[in-house]
Amino acid sequence: MNNNWLKENTFHHSEFKEIDRLVEEKIRKNLTIALCLPTLNEEKTIAKEIIIIKSELVTRYPLVDEIVVIDSGSTDNTRKIAREYGAGVYKATDILPGLETFKGKGENLWKALYITKSDIIAYLDADIKNIHHRFVYGLVAPLILSNNIKFCKAFYDRPISTGKNKIRPTGGGRVTELVIRPMLSLFFPELTQIMQPLSGEYAGYREIFEKIPFPIGYGIETSMILDIYEKWGLDVMAQVDLDRRVHRNQDTKALGKMSFVIMMTFLKRIEKLGIIKINKSMLNEMIQYNLVHNNYKADVFKIEGIERPPIIEIPEYRKKFNIS
């Protein structure tokens, strides 16, 4: 196991606070950078993310060239607000309309590859309450400054907002510690060095993202790490400590569904890699129970586990980017 990775490829955002240096290097290398915010009903946080990034990393330091919001069909004012504050706003269903439509974060990230033009794409969840431009420059800095690193993942000390405007000082990462870390320990111990493999913020080169499949839902973070690891190895990856991230808390049932999808993605991946053989086809329903009027009622969550192929295989994409 390569234990040096943790030491050599782990950064703290404060190492990159001289943003003008990043801009210089970006220009020298002739790179462009896009920020993608996948959304579904994020009207409370989307404006702040756009404003902070535009103010600090477009106007003050020209580090980011594109800001796009890819929306899964919000029923609140997410798209209107995002447009108002100057982001490029797209409904996921309007992108590549000739393809079958799916709904999910992974779908939005995949379609962002088609919509954006830049060499580097940074993905941020749109529910970050304490957004700061370090979330972007911290993620893209290792990609700009290093010649080897092609993918960079965030990790945090994450307090959870518990409602009623009170903040609990520690917590979060339950699915990481109870699901993905045990799985990685069993099959890919090197990858346990990634502190928060499920964090929703990462950046990478288009040349990496366009060559891997994207599950349409929660499994995207899991599959992405496994696929990049398998294709290019650990050394193209880095992680950056972005300090604190305040986000919405999710209840245990929601985390249960998330865990279901992550386990499904993980098991499919390791079977495909020939690491294990599952002698029974996996079911696609997560069953949880609610007590309704003194009766237990099943709450069935169906997940198809659909994946988009590497986008480089899509003719429209190849045409847009002149790939023969």
Partner 1 sequence: METYLDKLPLFIDTIKSMSETIIANIVFIGQEPAPTFKEQKRANLFMERLAEAGVDECSTDGYRNPIGIIRGTSKTKPPVFVVAHLDTLLDTDVDYNFTIKENFIQGAGILDNSVSVGVLASLPEIFRKLNLRFESDIVLSGPIQSMGKGNLRGIRHLVKTWATPIRGAVCVEGSELGRLNYYSYGMNRGEINCDIPDSGKWENRFRPNAILILNEVINQILQLSMPQRPRSSIIFGKISGGFKHGIIAYDAKLGFEIQSDSDKMVKKIYTDINDIVDGISHENGIDLKIQTISNLKASKLNYNHPLVKSSVAIMKKLGLQPISDPSESELSIFLSKNIPAVTIGITNGKNYHLENAKMAIDPMFKGIAQLVGIIMAIDSGVCDE
Supply the minimum distance, in Å, between the C-beta of residue 176 and partner 1. 23
Interface with partner 1 includes 21 (CB under 8 A)? no
Cβ(89)–Cβ(71) below 8 Å: yes
Stretch in the footprint of partner 1 (CB under 8 A) among 6-14, 160-168, 191-199, 274-282: 160-168
Interface with partner 1 includes 80 (CB under 8 A)? yes
Supply the minimum distance, in Å, between the C-beta of residue 284 and partner 1. 37
Q: Would you call 66 helix, strand, or coil by DSSP?
A: strand
Residue closer to partner 1 by CB (options 5, 137) is 137
Stretch in the footprint of partner 1 (CB under 8 A) among 76-84, 200-208, 233-241, 301-309: 76-84
In whole angstroms, give the CA distance from residue 277 to residue 161. 41
Interface with partner 1 includes 245 (CB under 8 A)? no
Supply the minimum distance, in Å, between the C-beta of residue 46 and partner 1. 9
Cβ(47)–Cβ(85) below 8 Å: yes
In whole angstroms, give the CA distance from residue 37 to residue 55. 16
In whole angstroms, give the CA distance from residue 246 to residue 127. 9
Residue 314 CB partners (closer than 8 Å, separation 6+)? 96, 99, 114
Residue closer to partner 1 by CB (options 23, 306) is 23
Residue closer to partner 1 by CB (options 67, 303) is 67
Interface with partner 1 includes 10 (CB under 8 A)? no
Residue closer to partner 1 by CB (options 169, 315) is 169
- Taking CB under 8 A as the criterion, the residue among 35, 37, 70, 81 binding partner 1 is 81
DSSP state of 132: -
Q: Would you call 96 helix, strand, or coil by DSSP?
A: coil
Interface with partner 1 includes 129 (CB under 8 A)? yes
Contact string (CB under 8 A) for partner 1, positions 254-283, x = contact: ------------------------------
Interface with partner 1 includes 23 (CB under 8 A)? no
Interface with partner 1 includes 85 (CB under 8 A)? yes
In whole angstroms, give the CA distance from residue 42 to residue 19. 28
Burial 195-209 (b: 16+ CB within 10 A, else e): bbbbbbbbbbbbebb
Q: Would you state the structure tokens that stand for residue 315, as one six-digit string?
A: 């003719």
Site for partner 1 in 38-57 (CB under 8 A): 43-45, 47-48, 51-52, 54-56
Q: Among all chains, which residue has been given the structure tokens 């529910």?
A: 127
DSSP 289-323: EEEETTEEEEEEEE----EEPPGGGSHHHHHHTT-
Stretch in the footprint of partner 1 (CB under 8 A) among 21-29, 111-119, 162-170, 189-197: 162-170
Among 103, 320, 95, which Cα is nearest to 215's?
A: 103
* Interface size with partner 1, residues (CB under 8 A): 26
Supply the minimum distance, in Å, between the C-beta of residue 275 and partner 1. 42
Point out which residues bind partner 1 (CB under 8 A): 43-45, 47-48, 51-52, 54-56, 59-60, 77, 80-81, 84-86, 129-130, 132, 161, 165-167, 246
